[in-house]
Amino acid sequence: MSSNIQLRGISKHYPPSGNTAARTVLAQLDLDIRAGELLALVGPSGCGKSTLLNLIAGLDLPTQGDLRFDRPFPSINLGVVFQQPRLLDWLSVAENIGIVLAGRRKGKDDVARTVQQLLQRVELPEHAHAYPQFLSGGQRQRVSIARAFAVQPDVLLLDEPFSALDELTARRLRQLLQAMWMSGDGPRPTGVLVTHNMLEAAFLADRIAVMGGSPAGIVRIVEVDVPRPRDPDDPALFEVHRQVMHALQE
């Protein structure tokens, strides 16, 4: 089940630390993220995109304001894909995916079946018993995506998941992520994507929240009215890219 996410008056202030001066990153930010949509956060480097994602993930707390889901946070299945895959090198690919299912009342055979299905979906079935250090960067990120979907996430958080990859690999993984997010019989997870790649945002997102200012807030929401499945070379996506760039330069 996907979840609405409502942010009202969110501010984040960091006190001075060592040689670092105090700073306010976010100020009075309001945002509604609809259940089952994929929302992209874009903006200049250092504007607080990842800070905002960390607040949604529960990894940090706002200094001020309210962040609400439509049900208690502990009951929400949260899937996360980071810029770096963050796999455990001493576990096999299958074990890296299966470990997130520990404690979920799944039998060993059920876990193995789920893992194999996910490896099929990320096109790595033959690498189940391989170890992360022997995989390419793109393959490791495929494992990370499979791990995020293993929990059947209500909320899927994506923190610049393809920025460390070459463009050809990133392009293929964007298409794979789109297919996985669209698939399944139940509701799609609510997704939040942080990216500095405007075409990536246009390809994956339903809406793009443009951040700006110092401290930052939401300066514009751009709707991506392009049907799925999307073609990365669709001219309509380049028009969305133009709108986002215009908003960033205002």
Q: What are the extents of the domains in the chain?
A: 87-151
Alpha-carbon distance of 211 to 119, in angstroms, equals 35
**What pTM did the predictor assign?**
0.94
- Measured in degrees and rounded to the nearest 5, phi and psi for residue 81 equal -120, 115
What pLDDT sits at residue 18?
84
DSSP 224: -
Alpha-carbon distance of 132 to 16, in angstroms, equals 38
What pLDDT sits at residue 104?
74
> Of 34, 11, 28, 1, which Cα lies nearest the Cα of 192?
34
State whether the Cα torsion 174-175-180-186 is positive or negative: positive
Task: Decide if 10 contacts 64 (C-beta within 8 A).
Answer: yes
Residues of the chain with confidence (pLDDT) below 50: none
What pLDDT sits at residue 185?
64
State how far the alpha carbon of 189 is from the alpha carbons of 39, 89, 211, in Å.
Answer: 11, 28, 23
State how far the alpha carbon of 11 is from the alpha carbons of 40, 48, 150, 179, in Å.
Answer: 19, 11, 33, 35
State how far the alpha carbon of 30 is from the alpha carbons of 66, 193, 209, 233, in Å.
Answer: 9, 17, 11, 33
Per-residue pLDDT tens digits for 98-135: 999 887 767 888 999 999 999 999 999 999 999 999 99
